[in-house]
Amino acid sequence: MADGADQGGDPVALTMRTNDAPPISSMMEFLERCDDSQLLDLTNHYRQRLEEAIQEAVKNVVFVLAYERYFSEQEYKQVIKRTERGSRAAGSTLLLNLVTEKEPRVLKLIWKCFVKMHHLLPELEELLKAMWEEGTGHFSIENYTFPHLTIQEFVAALAQFLTVDRGDITTLLIEAHGMADGRFEVFLRFVAGLSSPRTAWILEEFLGKFSHQTTGRVNDWVKKEVKRRARNTESVAGKQRLLNTLHYLFESQNPAVAQQALGSVETLSFRGLGLTPIDCTVLSHAIRPCDTINHLDLDSCHIQCEGLQRLGPALHKCQQLRLGLNDLGDSGVKLVSEALRNPDCKIQTLWLNNVGLTDSGAVDLASALSTNHTVTKLYLSGNKLGDSGVKLVSEALRNLDCKIQRLGLNSVGLTDSGAEDLASALSTNPSLTKLYLTHNSLTDRCVPALRRLILNLPRLERIRLVGNKFSPTGKKELRSLQEPRPGLSMDL
């Protein structure tokens, strides 16, 4: 954890430079008295504001958490990697995802650590002051009481439906959703949930009829907001806003509203945004009633097997599915294979690059590909397939019904022996137009096999072999194959 070396000494000492002002000491006392559910309420309520507060020094924050052993070495590296590859906002989001997964005892210690770091992070100090000011109406540190924040949010949302003809409800929703710090996020989710006919039916028995005008206006606002946010996902903040609106859609539990909201949306991109298993459930719920989601981009979303399992019922509906740079492992790829076997599968382009797939997991994938007739582009680069895994996949592509046109096998540990099997299997696939084999361990010994492969694939337009171990002689022999095939592009 070399990143902490430039901080000028013991990170704990740095974070302890407080003046023990009453608000800080009282906040520490308050955190000590919080029970597990109260602490979880506090974390959820202030999560987005906390994310934004630690963005400016996310590397320092994760260093301190790792130093104090609240984060593992692996978690520390994940946050650093996400920050360097994406942005400080992406790193901050991942850090908070990891924090919320901690057991209550550790979560309390992390909150105390945040309080100690308030001088390192000016925005965090402002947040703590705001928490103190807002909290004076919610809890008393001295004859101690703490009505859950979530209960207050629910009551505020419920009031909107018990008032006849709340004509200003749309304006209220817009203003609440427009708050950059996300302070009304829980309130908005409750409002969306109370618009559900099922929820209303249960409560109306005790509280009387809900305002139908309010319910209709809430549903209309949710639909418009989803459409608007789906068009603005270039930034991490934009993706987070879209995810928030999909949570409203989930809370409404209304498939018709979901279908109308996403009816004209063709692409959903969350690339680089950390998604929790709950987020994956929400996303699956949003996609299932829709038939128009052509492209679902979930590259580098910190999705693991549990999250993918929750997405499972919706995966087969997407024509282009990006799942690269997630820690899916063999068990996760098995879930993708189940989607490929679905008789209603629409997947045409599938990215599974750098997902932790091995030759063992390739068995399920190969079996699914042998019966799938929709996939035309398959990218498996960056996985530890080795010769055995590549052989399994290529054997599946030997099937005459296979429609694979582009195959990505960069950096998969392929050797000359595996190239022989690959050439033999692919030589019977008339559809293949592009083959990517860069950064493997191919040498001149496999040149005859590649020659047969190229000569037997009349539609082949491009083959990439950069980063292998061909000699100048071997490269010259390969280039000679372009003479009778002027349309063939070869990268050596």
Better pLDDT: 444 or 170: 444
Average pLDDT for residues 181-202, to the nearest whole number?
85
Residue matched to tokens 């618009």: 195
Please count the other Cβ atoms lying within 10 Å of the Cβ belonging to residue 59.
20
**Residue 9 and residue 5: Cα distance in Å, rounded?**
7
On average, the pLDDT of the chain sits at 84
Instruction: Collect all residues with Cβ–Cβ distance below 8 Å to 290 and sequence separation of at least 6.
Output: 258, 259, 262, 263, 265, 317
Give the Cα separation of 357 and 421 in Å (integer). Answer: 19
Token couple for 492: 């050596």
The mean pLDDT of 57-75, rounded to a whole number, is 88
Task: Let me know: does 196 contact 170? Beta carbons within 8 Å.
Answer: no
The conformation of residue 460, written as its DSSP 8-state character, comes to -
The stretch 434-450 carries a mean pLDDT of 95
CA dist 61 and 55 (Å) reads 9
Tens-digit pLDDT profile for residues 395-417: 888 887 778 999 999 999 999 99
Q: What is the DSSP string of 20-86?
A: --HHHHHHHHHHHH--HHHHHHHHHHHHHHHHHHHGGGHHHHHHHHHHTTSS-HHHHHHHHHHHHHT
CA distances from 231 to 58, 112, 141 (A): 28, 39, 45
- Domain regions of the chain by residue span: 2-140, 150-252
Q: Alpha-carbon distance 11 to 145, whole Å? A: 35
pLDDT tens-place string over residues 94-106 = 888 888 888 878 8
Question: What tokens were used for 345?
Answer: 């599968």
304-358 confidence digits (pLDDT tens): 999 999 999 899 999 999 999 999 999 999 999 999 999 999 999 999 999 999 9
- Phi/psi for 349 (5° steps) reads -120, 125
Residue 321 region by backbone torsions, left for phi larger than 0, else alpha for psi between -120 and 50, else beta: beta
Give the pLDDT mean for 147-167.
Answer: 75
Q: What's the confidence (pLDDT) of residue 188?
A: 92
Low-confidence winner among 36-40, 237-241, 362-366 (lowest mean pLDDT):
36-40
327, 300 in Cβ contact below 8 A? no
For position 148, what pLDDT does the model report? 62
Mean pLDDT over 43-69 rounds to 84
The dihedral sign for the CA sequence 148, 152, 153, 158? positive
Which of residues 482 and 440 earns the better pLDDT score? 440
269-273, 329-333, 424-428: which range is least confident on average? 424-428
CA dihedral of residues 357, 359, 361, 363 (deg, nearest 10): 140
Confidence of residue 455 (pLDDT cuts 50, 70, 90): confident
Name the phi and psi angles at 249, rounded to 5: -60, -40
* Total count of residues recorded for the chain: 492
Q: What is the pLDDT of residue 12?
A: 34
Give the pLDDT score at 165. Answer: 59
Can you tell me the distance from the alpha carbon of 342 to that of 453, in angstroms, rounded to the nearest whole number? 31
Judged by DSSP in three states, 379 sits in strand
pLDDT over 90 percentage in the chain: 39
